Amino acid sequence: MKPAKILHLHSSFDLGGKEARAVQLMNKFGKAATHTIISAVPNAMSAAKAIDDKIAVDFPDEDYGECPPLHGKPSLGRYRQISDYMKQFDLILSYNWGSMDGVMAHTIYGKKKGLAPLIHHEDGFNHDEIEKLNWKRNLFRAIALQRVHSVIVPSEILEDIAIHIWKQPSGRVMRIANGIALKNYAKKAQLGSFPGLKKRNGEVIVGTVAGLRPVKNLTKMVRAVAAAGDHVKLAIAGDGPDKEAIEKEAKRLNIEDRLIMPGFLRDPSRFIGLFDIFALSSLSEQFPISLAEAMASGIPALSTDVGDVRNMVSEANADYIVDRHDDNGYNMALKTLVNNRELRQKIGYENQVRAQTEFDEKTMFARYSAIYGAAMGRPNFAK
């Protein structure tokens, strides 16, 4: 059987949770599929670095007319152009709000043009929908998602939104928890795998893996580390537009010598175990893969109380999940973890046990393979 030709329509392909999972699945599918990736944000493609060299993948350039743009004013002309491009594929996968014009094009023209099935993935919201969902976007989604094969979400919160706000039939909405390669995270972290990170006696490393975007609120983490003591360092792996703001905040607080930001780093299993404390400061999350990775590595977590985070961590870790508006509580929780090594070890052990029972990637792979395969009429896809 020929490889399945899959089109990926991303809101952005800079590395974050949804991009990491998409790459994880692509690498797992191997020769069973070829992939074409379009980003609604031009040149936002840093996640491409994580794709295995053996995977057949194409990044068409809209500037050269190789593919239609996903961004622009809604119009039937644009939607017709997008739907014409879709004709060559066996499966279309869309991700988040930025891909919704592609979903609308498929809904309007898909049946008439005999387009392949489209499966939509929702993983969360941008900075502008943190406090309240945008009613215009909700209405647009409700219309655009009418003819999709499935809507896949990682969290209970998004499942509820898809059914009750976007008016999706419950049988169409699939909740699949993000999974990881547990055996890789059980291994000892590799010294030197995080460039610039050196730990001296008595120092505590607070670390995170994140796209450097406003919704991640990483300047909050900088301030918490600055308040936690001179022996605390902050290590951030990731790329994005907020890098300068993070560095500026560290300089303002005179901790630039304690901030390590090497950019994107491939394969977190190699370095995440070097952290003493894993931290999230996000204003919005759903089911962060990076948290699952940290837990599988036996690390305690400090996080804002967003998405499914509180349900993900062990019971022992629950006291360190703090309201996203409570900066003082966040800072105090970090100080408690920084100053108590035995507590960190206890929480880390319980997090690891929970990860081993809840976050196995084999379950995730099996469910995605089954849904994608059913949509294409290929029940043995990627087995």
**pLDDT in the model for residue 314:** 97
DSSP string, 146-164: GG-SEEEESSHHHHHHHHH
Please give the Cα distance from 375 to 116 (Å, whole number).
9
Q: 63-121: per-residue pLDDT in tens?
A: 778 999 999 999 999 999 999 999 999 999 999 999 999 999 999 999 999 999 999 99
User: What is the average pLDDT score of the chain?
Assistant: 94
Q: How far apart are the first and last CA of the chain?
A: 13
Q: Rounded to the nearest 5°, which phi and psi values hold at 155? A: -130, 160
Q: Rounded to the nearest 5°, which phi and psi values hold at 39? A: -110, 135
Q: What is the mean pLDDT of residues 155-159?
A: 91
The CB density around residue 54, as the number of other CB atoms within 10 Å, is: 8
Under a CB-based contact definition with an 8 Å cutoff, are residues 79 and 109 in contact? yes
Q: What is the mean pLDDT of residues 13-21?
A: 85
Contacts of 332 by beta carbon, 8 Å cutoff, 6+ apart: none
What is the token pair recorded at 14?
């800079």
Kindly give the interhelix angle for 327-338 and 341-358, rounded to the nearest 10 degrees: 100
Report whether pLDDT(15) > 90.
Answer: no
**pLDDT in the model for residue 37:** 97
Report whether pLDDT(383) > 80.
Answer: no
Same fold for the pair 4-179+360-376 and 182-358? yes
Instruction: Evaluate whether the domain defined by 182-358 bears CATH number 3.40.228.10.
Output: no
**pLDDT in the model for residue 229:** 95
**pLDDT in the model for residue 226:** 98
Q: 311-369: per-residue pLDDT in tens?
A: 999 999 999 999 999 999 999 999 999 999 999 999 999 999 999 999 999 999 999 99
Please give the Cα distance from 76 to 57 (Å, whole number).
29
Strands (E), 11-163: 33-39, 57-58, 91-95, 118-121, 150-153
Q: Can you give the residue ranges of every domain in the chain?
A: 4-179+360-376, 182-358
Q: 204-235: per-residue pLDDT in tens?
A: 999 999 989 999 999 999 999 999 999 999 99
Confidence of residue 28 (pLDDT cuts 50, 70, 90): very high
pTM over 0.85: no
Under a CB-based contact definition with an 8 Å cutoff, are residues 127 and 214 in contact? yes
Instruction: Evaluate whether the domain defined by 4-179+360-376 bears CATH number 3.40.50.2000.
Output: yes
Please say whether the dihedral angle defined by the alpha carbons of residues 251, 254, 257 and 259, taken in this order, is positive or negative. negative
**pLDDT in the model for residue 132:** 87
Under a CB-based contact definition with an 8 Å cutoff, are residues 276 and 298 in contact? no
- Residue 324: which of 341, 307, 347, 339 has the closest Cα? 307
